[in-house]
């Protein structure tokens, strides 16, 4: 039987499934890209060579069953090169996303060409966003990937409006724009072109080594607009990295991408996040990580302890129970009733890491997504939106 003839059965949404079916899926291993020499550096390119996507289309009847209610669905496809992953190609109505005013993030606009991510990071905070599509935050987030095939054209139209203020646009803040599917769909060059042509500053955060493909284009863009490049590299133990980030390029491959971007003239930031209690947070582990990051040519570090919001929390704690049962008690004590590590732990982590950062000559800042910053941002947003009748203090004219 040819791969194209294999029937594809889309599981029903999580709320309709029996507990034993969910348990079976959760215990399954995630597919991981081959770690051969060529793939280590160009994993996102190598993974898509020779695809016969037209022969992998999921039938119309099953497509309807898979994503009932999703507007703009063009087709759903599978390919042997992405074992177990289904790509749902959609036409998007909008590309720019406004960040809520109450967010503590240092940017106001994002673009996400993909929803869901085959990197399959167990801790990924964006998992819960798949529930909006009536998909689950676990295996579906890893294996049911939405591809906005017209995102570059829609973005260019939005950026051409007279009302656009040319504020910085962040990519990679929800799901990775350089995940493996980008090697096939090639959405990022069009997005980067639209941003640069409109005079819009660009910020990219990725785990994907395919960023190297676009470095020449990014160099050209940097002649016209500010361009900020960041790599996410959290785990420096190869076996642990394969377990907790099973679909990502290796740590060595990402460090090589840092070096390539630095050699291309960029001041590269590395997000040393999430730092996982009892897994990646010892002084020796942090020192080794920072030494390798500095050697790769990074200039700046953003660090922060693991946080687990609903969706990610359940998936991660199941992984802990399966892979590191000796840590279950500690993790449930830290995260059972909270999304963030205890304040005392975060303070101690910062105190331990700052001398190491100075030793390795790295600039740094702490993760801005912390409960204290979120509360401050929410307070500011609430004050800004308060009715004028209740605001007794004179305000400056804004227009």
pLDDT tens per residue, range 119-143: 999 999 888 777 667 787 677 888 8
Q: Is pLDDT at 390 greater than 60 in this prediction?
A: no
pLDDT tens per residue across span 142-197: 889 999 999 999 999 999 999 999 999 999 988 999 999 999 999 999 999 999 99
Per the listing, tokens 């016969």 go with 52
According to the model, what pLDDT value does residue 392 have? 31
Say which residue, 204 or 49, is predicted with more confidence.
204
According to the model, what pLDDT value does residue 371 have? 58
According to the model, what pLDDT value does residue 25 have? 36
Q: Residues 13-19: what's their mean pLDDT?
A: 33
Confidence of residue 365 (pLDDT cuts 50, 70, 90): confident
Q: Return the number of other C-beta atoms located less than 10 Å from residue 350's C-beta.
A: 15
Distance CA 338, CA 308 (A): 8
Peptide bond between residue 274 and the one before it cis (omega within 30 degrees of 0): yes
Please, what is the average pLDDT of the chain? 80
Say which residue, 215 or 173, is predicted with more confidence.
215
Give the domain 17-380 fold. TIM Barrel (3.20.20)
Cβ neighbours of residue 302 closer than 8 Å, sequence gap 6 or more: 230, 269, 270, 271, 272, 273, 364, 365, 366, 367
Pairing of strands 86-90, 73-77: antiparallel
pTM value?
Answer: 0.78
Q: Is pLDDT at 220 greater than 70 in this prediction?
A: yes
Specify the 3-state DSSP secondary structure of 68: coil
According to the model, what pLDDT value does residue 9 have? 39
Q: Residues 259-265: what's their mean pLDDT?
A: 98
Distance CA 130, CA 135 (A): 5
According to the model, what pLDDT value does residue 139 have? 76
Distance CA 231, CA 246 (A): 17
Confidence of residue 81 (pLDDT cuts 50, 70, 90): confident
According to the model, what pLDDT value does residue 359 have? 96
Helix 151-159 and helix 188-197: axis angle, to 10°?
10
According to the model, what pLDDT value does residue 343 have? 95
According to the model, what pLDDT value does residue 104 have? 62
Domain ranges of the chain: 17-380
Closest CA relative to residue 25, chosen from 202, 133, 143: 143
Burial of 162 (0-12, 13-18, 19+ CB in 10 A): exposed
């Amino acid at each position: 039987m040819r791969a194209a003839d294999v029937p594809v059965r889309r599981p029903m949404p999580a709320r309709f499934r029996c507990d034993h079916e969910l348990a079976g899926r959760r215990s399954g291993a995630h597919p991981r890209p081959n770690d051969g020499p060529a793939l280590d550096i160009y994993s996102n390119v190598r993974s898509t060579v020779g695809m016969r996507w037209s022969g992998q289309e999921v039938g119309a009847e099953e497509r309807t069953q898979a994503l009932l209610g999703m507007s703009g669905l063009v087709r759903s496809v599978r390919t042997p090169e992405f074992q177990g992953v289904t790509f749902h190609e959609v036409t998007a109505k909008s590309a720019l996303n406004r960040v809520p005013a109450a967010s503590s993030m240092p940017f106001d606009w994002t673009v996400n060409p993909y929803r869901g991510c085959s990197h399959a990071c167990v801790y990924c905070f964006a998992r819960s966003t798949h529930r909006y599509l009536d998909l689950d935050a676990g295996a579906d987030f890893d294996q049911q990937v939405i591809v906005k095939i017209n995102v570059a054209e829609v973005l260019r139209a939005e950026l051409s409006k007279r009302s656009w203020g040319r504020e910085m646009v962040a990519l990679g803040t929800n799901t990775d724009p350089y995940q493996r599917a980008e090697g096939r769909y090639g959405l990022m060059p069009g997005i980067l072109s639209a941003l640069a042509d409109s005079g819009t500053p660009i910020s990219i955060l990725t785990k994907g080594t395919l960023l190297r493909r676009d470095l020449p284009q990014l160099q050209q863009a940097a002649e016209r607009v500010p361009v900020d490049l960041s790599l996410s590299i959290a785990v420096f133990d190869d076996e642990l990295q394969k377990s907790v980030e099973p679909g990502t390029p290796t740590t060595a491959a990402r460090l090589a991408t840092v070096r390539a971007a630095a050699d291309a003239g960029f001041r590269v930031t590395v997000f040393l996040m999430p730092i996982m209690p009892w897994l990646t947070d010892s002084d020796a582990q942090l020192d080794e990580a920072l030494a390798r990051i500095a050697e790769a040519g990074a200039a700046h570090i953003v660090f922060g302890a693991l946080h687990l919001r609903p969706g990610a929390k359940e998936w991660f704690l199941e992984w802990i129970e399966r892979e590191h049962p000796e840590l279950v008690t500690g993790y449930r004590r830290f995260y059972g009733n909270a999304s963030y590590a205890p304040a005392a732990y975060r303070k101690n982590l910062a105190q331990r890491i700052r001398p190491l950062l100075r030793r390795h000559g790295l600039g740094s800042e702490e993760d801005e997504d912390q409960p204290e910053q979120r509360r401050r941002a929410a307070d500011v947003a609430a004050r800004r939106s308060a009715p004028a009748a209740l605001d007794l203090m004179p305000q400056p004219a804004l227009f």
